[in-house]
Amino acid sequence: MTMEVLADWVSKVSNVVWNGLLLYLLVGTGIVFTIRTRFVQVRKFGAGWKHLFGHFSLNGEKAGADGMSPFQALTTALASTIGTGNIIGVGTAIYLGGPGAVLWCWLTGVFGIATKYAESLIAVKYRVQTADGRMMGGAMYALERGLKWKKFGKVMAVLFALFAMLASFGTGCGTQINAIAEVIETNLPIGIPRIAIGIVFGIVTAIIILGGIETIATVCEKLVPVMALFYVLGCIVILGINYDYILPAFKAIFTLAFQPGAVAGGMVGGGIRLALQYGVARGLFSNESGMGSAPLVASAAQTRNPVRQALVSATGTFWTTVVVCLMTGLVLISTIMKNPAVDMASIANGGQMTTIAFAQIPYIGPAILVFSIITFAYSTILGWSYYGERAAEYLLGRKAILPYKLLFLAVVVFSPVLALDLMWSIADILNALMAIPNLIAVLLLSGVIASETRHYLNNLDEEDTTEIPVVDR
């Protein structure tokens, strides 16, 4: 089997996995928990933000063996979640599914908040503590400790950890550093060998991740707000330039989400099927709700109230999809509508749409886009390094941490020189395989989630006094 045939086969498998049953299962899970929590994302929206910023500080306390602040836990999770998918991915959804895809992407985020809430709640509730005081949690511990069928839970836990660790090398690292190298190579006036880019980022990454969660959390706490604010301000400037096309863009989004049609600039909506397919898919990719990734770090938060941390973690989905993806969609659609000289027939992909949009900002527009892509991609590397480390430790014990980090750094160094089309597809499949055990956990433990929600939702200052088990890892 040639590499071309293998790549084509893997790509088809990835498309089947993500555009089939799993897509509906992820969306359905969000709807189920929206109902079971009685729209917790609406009722307690303010409470989540209150407890988030109650622990905010750019000079905040350092994360330690006993965990990190709720704000640090969120920003570390956001580091992996806010990525190129929020920029390029939205453009791809519009390119393939039409402007209506933005509405379905946005709705996916709204319901995904409930999923992120549910999976983060059980991650905190079923977490364990190591002998040296470190908090460990996530889907594998919820499956192992929460399910009545212990053997089944253990098997699912091992599978989740295995897929998460493998995905950290692909989606979380290789594809991201390759994207960084591509941006640098394309936009800098001087040529820099790709291997040199890999070495530089490898050294920086080594300094951060070898310092442990203390260093990762500290960097993410400062990097994530700055990079997100920088990108959002760029979007606001563009929307100011395109102000007279914001309402027409909204109209196109809502109209073409349900019916075929065309708007100015040659943008065509293929009807509800295509808009739904690509909008939901990109929405899920952008917020990772249901994949079980963010709960791995949510469980390390310094809290004894699972509902309170779940509310904080859920704000991440609001930010990544409901805000950032919507702003990106409005920027791209209004730009194409405002500039009739730019025809969709001349655009090859969603990345080109984004480049055209940011070029409207004189002098610094392309620089904003380059900075955003690099920082978004690099933050993903940092966040996923922690996810993979936790998964490796669950599988093989603490002795696996250093070898995992060294292998992760090797991927950072050498990935810029590799052709990663195949890796992208494999990584997508691994992400889907991660989601299956995680969804089993949240759905089978839905009764626990509903019960904990009823108990703590109006008592967010109450502490869970249940003893946290100590394990030997």
The tokens for 427 are 């990584």
- Please tell me the predicted confidence (pLDDT) of residue 209: 93
Bridge partners (DSSP) listed for residue 268: 262
pLDDT in tens, 187-219: 777 788 989 999 999 999 999 999 887 888 888
473 lies in some domain: no
pLDDT of residue 58 exceeding 60: no
468 lies in some domain: no
pLDDT in tens, 122-178: 999 999 998 888 889 999 999 999 999 999 999 999 999 999 999 899 888 888 888
Confidence band, pLDDT 50/70/90 cuts, at residue 9: confident
469 lies in some domain: no
Q: What percent of the chain lies above the pLDDT cut of 70?
A: 90
CATH classification at residue 286: 1.20.1740
Identity of the highest mean pLDDT range in 47-51, 104-108, 315-319, 467-471: 104-108
Residue with tokens 């407890």: 51
- Tell me what the mean pLDDT of segment 38-63 comes to: 63
- Please tell me the predicted confidence (pLDDT) of residue 163: 93
DSSP code string of 181-208: HHHHHHH-SS---HHHHHHHHHHHHHHH
Neighbours of 191 (CB within 10 A): 9
- Please tell me the predicted confidence (pLDDT) of residue 217: 82
pLDDT of residue 314 exceeding 80: yes
325 lies in some domain: yes
46 lies in some domain: yes
464 lies in some domain: no
Q: What percent of the chain lies above the pLDDT cut of 90?
A: 34
Domain count, the chain: 1
188 lies in some domain: yes
pLDDT of residue 66 exceeding 60: no
Cα distance from N-terminal residue to C-terminal residue, the chain:
41
- Please tell me the predicted confidence (pLDDT) of residue 33: 93
463 lies in some domain: no
- Please tell me the predicted confidence (pLDDT) of residue 51: 59
pLDDT in tens, 333-382: 999 888 877 766 677 667 778 888 888 898 888 888 889 889 988 988 99
Burial (CB < 10 A; 0-12, 13-18, 19+), residue 363, is exposed
How far apart are alpha carbons 124 and 73 in whole angstroms?
12
**Worst-scoring range by mean pLDDT, 43-47, 213-217, 282-286, 445-449?**
43-47
- Please tell me the predicted confidence (pLDDT) of residue 56: 45
User: Chain-wide mean pLDDT for the chain?
Assistant: 84
- Please tell me the predicted confidence (pLDDT) of residue 59: 47
Neighbours of 35 (CB within 10 A): 12
Q: Does residue 323 sit in helix, strand or coil?
A: helix
What range does the domain containing 159 cover?
3-457
Report field, pTM of the whole predicted structure over 0.85: yes
